[in-house]
Amino acid sequence: MANSYEINELTREESWRLFRIMGEFAIGFDRLAGVEPAVSFYGSARIKPEDKLYQTTEEIAYRLGKLGFSIISGGGPGVMEAANKGGLRAGVPSVGVNIELDEEQAKNQYTTISLDFKFFFVRKVMLVRYATAFIIMPGGQGTLDELTEVLNLMQTKKIRPFPVLLFDSDYWNGFLLWLRKQTLPKGFISEGDLNLLRVYDDVDGIVNAIDVWYQRHEISGRRALASS
């Protein structure tokens, strides 16, 4: 059974953790003020520059940058690097929100704003808070986590619906079929939840979808938070 000294030490440690969390939020909000409108990219960290997916990601980010959208990624390699590279090439703010891991994630060199976070949930807030749209490139567990979290925020009306665009129908069709054939019939999701998703196989389609949506709505980032 813990004694009073151990309890006090645990309480003190939790208090300092709270201050660190608050500090990360404050720094993030300060550094990212003014980057809107922006598009957040998600996808595998494991692809290489010679991969077609890398090159396609870079082109999408570049095209969106030329339309005036800032580019936000998780700040690491793979899809994140490709997105930041495209944003940098377009001359717009290219944001990387990196996460500190035991096996350090190398930051890519194509960011104009680079932030490091210890807490995953703070980083996730930064990826969502300033985004006008979300582009989900093929990826693994982390990508699926980020995709479903964004959808859940919209489903629960914590943020207003934004475009959630999946790239590469061959990659995503199995996931979408599972949602439609398994989760929807059981009532775990509704048809409206599926309508939040759009799938594209070409750069023009995904870029135009975001541009048209933004021109019609002209809301982005924190101004579109449901509580605002």
- The answer to whether the pTM exceeds 0.75 is yes
More confident residue, 95 or 156: 95
Q: What is the mean pLDDT of residues 76-105?
A: 91
Strand order in the sheet with 38-42: 113-117, 94-99, 70-73, 38-42, 131-136, 164-167, 197-200
Q: What is the mean pLDDT of residues 72-95?
A: 97
Q: In the structure, what pLDDT confidence band is assigned to residue 227 with cuts at 50, 70 and 90?
A: very low
Instruction: Return the percentage of the chain with pLDDT > 90, whole number.
Output: 67
Domains of the chain in start order, with CATH, are 35-224 (3.40.50.450)
pLDDT of residue 226: 45
pLDDT of residue 101: 73
Q: What is the mean pLDDT of residues 136-145?
A: 95
